[in-house]
Chain A
Amino acid sequence: METFYEWFRVLYDETGINLPFIYDSYDRGRMFDGFLLTIKLSLVCLFFSIIIGMIGAWLQGSPLKWTRRIVNGYIQLFRNTPPLVQLYFFYFAIGSLLPKVATDYGGEAPLLGNFAWAAISLSFFAGAFNVEIFRSGVEAVPDSTVEAAEALGFSRLQIYKDITLPLAFRVVLPALNNNLVNLVKTTTLAYAIAVPEMLYEANQIWSDNVNVTEMMLFMLLAYFVLVGVLVWAMNSWERAMKIPGYGS
């Protein structure tokens, strides 16, 4: 393995193509940490945004006027503002209002760190879109199906959980795919509040080594592969959930 790494150092000396995240052990370490953090942030945000989407779509169908209004207000607020502005708002504005907790080195730090804020902000951002996506699926379920369930004595929650949502899920998967792909790409914004994800680490490396072109190309390929894996997984899931005769 060491000769493989060294080959890239030789490559730099010979051709000027500088890929320090392969031959320099420190840069390799931080690039790898950044890669893991991007995956971690993506998974956390994917999970919570889908949960928010499912719950939000259910609340949107609530008989209570104010519940519907609050959900719609949330959607408007998070869908109509740029995610970068939301990140800054959460981290610098809301973050400073939170109570402080003592740290183990004798200082006081805000309750939530930058990773937590990035996860919260991006989950809410993507969640707002997911609510609307799930609503489109819920509305695609025929009224007669819901009426049949009501006739069998199902409660509203039971109908949503056991009848509407499973059917809606199959309808919304293509649109959901789209939004989740966007979400993974949006995690790069977290570098504005110094979350050490992949783009942040790449920026550190190109600042130290002045190899912007190489790092940009690497970033492009890395995200291409990362999002490719997500798309592949979602497509397999879509196929696995297919019901013969339902949908196209």
Chain B
Amino acid sequence: MIKSVMKSVAVVAAVCAFALTSQTAQADVLDDIKAAGVLKVGVKADYKPYGFLDPSGAIIGIEPDLAKDVADKLGVTVEYIPVVSSNRMQFLEQGKIDLMIATMTDKPDRRKVVSIVDPNYYSSGTNILSPKKFGFKEWEDLRDKPVCGIQGAFYNKRTSQNFGAKIVAFKGTAEAYAALQQGNCVAFVYDDSAIVAKTKDEAFADYEMPLPTIDDAPWGLAVRLGEDGFHALMSDMIKDWHKSGRILELETKWGVANTPFAKAMHDKFK
């Protein structure tokens, strides 16, 4: 047993070493982007109003607008690549996208994998969407009940570990919402910012966001590790957004009440 474990560890080490060496030899991504004339940005396509599809199938929302700002600044066109929580960092690592603005919560272990840009551009917490008839009041009320979630969301583990909920995690939000409506789960644990938008949806009139929001955590947009030039540029970009009130403006444009985080950052950089 020990021997076979050691063997597999050796294999893992070899693969990791290979992955690391292959990452270092890269030119500055800013030159590549300008040469190609296209900035490839990973955004969500199922996360209203931060990134979603309009009736024609184009990706629109707050984050695509921010991505457009970056492309305008670089003088290139923007290409939106739809990502989901479980593949967004991999897409960035593999070079399928150059920049990721995909509602990602800023976490220390994620900073080891991708280069998250300071300051944070947004923030949200965790809450649930649940039918009003259940009348949940506390997170503890979810104990031993099936709760829908999204594969790859960091709060799945927390919700099941601390509050004893049985997480039923799906690939995308569409499946999770469908499962919730069909009664396969009693609630859907997700970002409060997205839930607020969903409760305004007519099909979800009987649903509410009943619990106190937990884990209020900043979001980070990210570039590949080692892209220091792009990182610095994005850092200035974010400061600019906060300073000019661009984030507040976009919130208003897309029908979100101005969040305390966005207001505080605006005051800080004003």
- A-side residues, CB < 8 A to B, are 11, 15-17, 19, 26, 92, 95-96, 100, 105-110, 113-114, 192-194, 196, 200, 203-204, 207-210, 212-214, 217-218, 221
**Contact partners of A114 in chain B: CB under 8 A:** 168, 184
In the bound assembly, the distance between CA atoms of A207 and B149 in angstroms comes to 13
In the bound assembly, the distance between CA atoms of A192 and B178 in angstroms comes to 13
In the bound assembly, the distance between CA atoms of A1 and B270 in angstroms comes to 57
Contact of A217 among B11, B90, B178 (CB under 8 A): B11
Inter-subunit contact A207/B183 (CB<8 Å): no
Q: Is B232 an interface residue (CB 8 A)?
A: no
Shortest beta-carbon distance, B102 to chain A, in Å? 14
**Contact partners of B182 in chain A: CB under 8 A:** 92, 95-96, 110
A16-B16, A203-B151 given; A208·B183 CB < 8 A: no
**Contact partners of A105 in chain B: CB under 8 A:** 134, 145, 186
Inter-subunit contact B145/A210 (CB<8 Å): no
A26-B157, A217-B8 given; A194·B186 CB < 8 A: no
In the bound assembly, the distance between CA atoms of A110 and B153 in angstroms comes to 25
Shortest beta-carbon distance, A11 to chain B, in Å? 7
In the bound assembly, the distance between CA atoms of A11 and B110 in angstroms comes to 19
A194-B169, A207-B152, A212-B90 given; A17·B85 CB < 8 A: no
Shortest beta-carbon distance, A69 to chain B, in Å? 34
In the bound assembly, the distance between CA atoms of A208 and B160 in angstroms comes to 13
Inter-subunit contact A113/B171 (CB<8 Å): no
Q: List 12 A-B contacts (CB under 8 A).
A: A92-B178, A95-B182, A113-B184, A194-B148, A194-B179, A203-B151, A207-B86, A207-B152, A210-B110, A210-B113, A213-B16, A221-B8
List the A residue with the shortest CB-CB distance to B174. Answer: A92
List the B residue with the shortest CB-CB distance to A15. Answer: B13
A105-B145, A203-B152, A207-B152 given; A217·B110 CB < 8 A: no
- Mark B161-178 against chain A: 1 for CB-CB distance below 8 A, else 0: 100000111110001001
**Contact partners of A96 in chain B: CB under 8 A:** 182
A11-B9, A213-B12, A217-B12 given; A107·B156 CB < 8 A: no
Shortest beta-carbon distance, B160 to chain A, in Å? 8
A207-B86, A207-B154 given; A109·B184 CB < 8 A: yes
- Mark B16-57 against chain A: 1 for CB-CB distance below 8 A, else 0: 100100000000000000000000000000000000000000
In the bound assembly, the distance between CA atoms of A189 and B163 in angstroms comes to 28
Most B C-beta atoms less than 10 A away, residue of A193, A194, A209, A217: A194
Most A C-beta atoms less than 10 A away, residue of B16, B90, B113, B148: B16
In the bound assembly, the distance between CA atoms of A96 and B146 in angstroms comes to 17
Inter-subunit contact A207/B151 (CB<8 Å): yes
Q: Is B89 an interface residue (CB 8 A)?
A: yes
**Contact partners of A95 in chain B: CB under 8 A:** 182, 184
A95-B182, A100-B183, A114-B168 given; A203·B109 CB < 8 A: no
Known: A19-B9, A208-B157, A212-B90. 14 other contacts (CB 8 A): A16-B16, A92-B175, A105-B145, A105-B186, A107-B131, A107-B183, A109-B146, A110-B184, A114-B184, A194-B170, A207-B151, A210-B89, A210-B112, A217-B11
Inter-subunit contact A17/B151 (CB<8 Å): no
**Contact partners of B157 in chain A: CB under 8 A:** 26, 204, 208
Inter-subunit contact A26/B161 (CB<8 Å): yes
Inter-subunit contact A213/B134 (CB<8 Å): no
**Contact partners of B156 in chain A: CB under 8 A:** 204, 207-208
